Amino acid sequence: SIQAVIRGRACGWPIGLRPNLVNFSPSSQAVMATSSVPAETPATASGCCGMLQAVRRMPRVMVFAVAVTCFQFLEGPPLFSTKATMVSCPMPEPSPLGTCPRGSYFEDGRCEAQPRSSPEWSLSPKCADQIVVTSRITKVEAVLGIPAALGSLWAQLAAGPILDTVGRKPVMLFGVACITIYSVLVSASTFLDWHGFLAMVSLARLFSGVASVQAPATQAMVADLTHGNPILRANAYAVCVALDSLGMVICFMSMYPLLKLNLPSYVWVWAAFSAVAAFMLFSFSFMLRETLPKPIEGRSGRMSTASSGGTQASSSETDLECVQG
């Protein structure tokens, strides 16, 4: 039937089984010619060459993905060290045997804090008991994870409707703005006491969870730029996964020398993160281009639309006009 031929053209006929369209009537050929059948997939390489081709096709999106991923990984280890430096406790008393807890040493009948250069340092300049520091951090870690999880849940639920209404670029920039706010709040929290620090970091973690909305926005932009080419789309998604792993490696390689310094305060580290995040927000506002498909009027007078997943329009509607980035 005509519909079977149309489906065969969409999926690609095997060699030797392609039908002879001459045998069809002129009216049938007109129906098949005007039907909304996707064009043949352009030749796309696979493997490493295909991934390089995906990077060349959408360099701005890939730069955004690797920059945001690396930045989010970079902020993890300093946050743990920042929480440790905010823990305070009284100076421990020596035991009857003249021993002191880990993080301090016995001298002249009292316990003294280990220097920051010592492997026995307590991780906090305000507390010389390493057990107290680590136990308090462990207790608050689960509490601080709640606002981040709630923010991420809201971001994932609201991402779909917002992406198809507002667009991809504004959502991606909103995610970078949330990362900037997160860095500023953590930097300001280092000037507060322990309870104020926890309250402000909880608010900052909420913004860090909401910042995850940039992930589906990036995937939607990749889908727009690879519309009609599933092989290129698969290669582009593979590059995004590879960039996530690359960001993790860069994070640990660059943060280890910084954490090894055992800084008494990380306020300047978070101030630098805030400045870098603000620069990223300013730069990507000019670099990125909107790729949300714009509906155009079809031949039948109706408006054709498409979702971010690249769903096909009906046979009476025309293809979508997409502004490539």
Residue indicated by tokens 């991934």: 51
d(CA 56, CA 206): 35
Q: How confident is the model at residue 295 (pLDDT cuts 50, 70, 90)?
A: low
Nearest to 267 by CA among 123, 78, 94, 118: 78
pLDDT digits (tens, 9 = 90+) for 144-173: 889 999 999 999 888 888 998 899 999 999
State the pTM of this model.
0.74
DSSP for 204-273 reads HHHHHHHGGGHHHHHHHHHHHHTTT-HHHHHHHHHHHHHHHHHHHHHHHHHHHHHHTT--S--HHHHHHH
pLDDT digits (tens, 9 = 90+) for 185-229: 999 999 999 999 999 999 999 999 999 999 899 989 988 888 888
β-pair type (110-113, 104-107): antiparallel
DSSP for 13-61 reads PPTT----GGGS-HHHHHHHHHS--PPPPPP---HHHHHHHHHHH-HHH
The structural domains of the chain, ordered by start, are 48-92+129-287 (1.20.1250.20)
Tell me if residue 77 falls in helix, strand or coil. helix
Tell me: pLDDT of 304 over 50. Answer: no
Tell me: pLDDT of 38 over 90. Answer: no
User: Is the Cβ–Cβ distance between 298 and 319 less than 8 Å?
Assistant: no
Query: Average of pLDDT values for 131-137?
Result: 91
Tell me: pLDDT of 6 over 50. Answer: no
Helix (H) / strand (E) element for 107: namely: strand 104-107
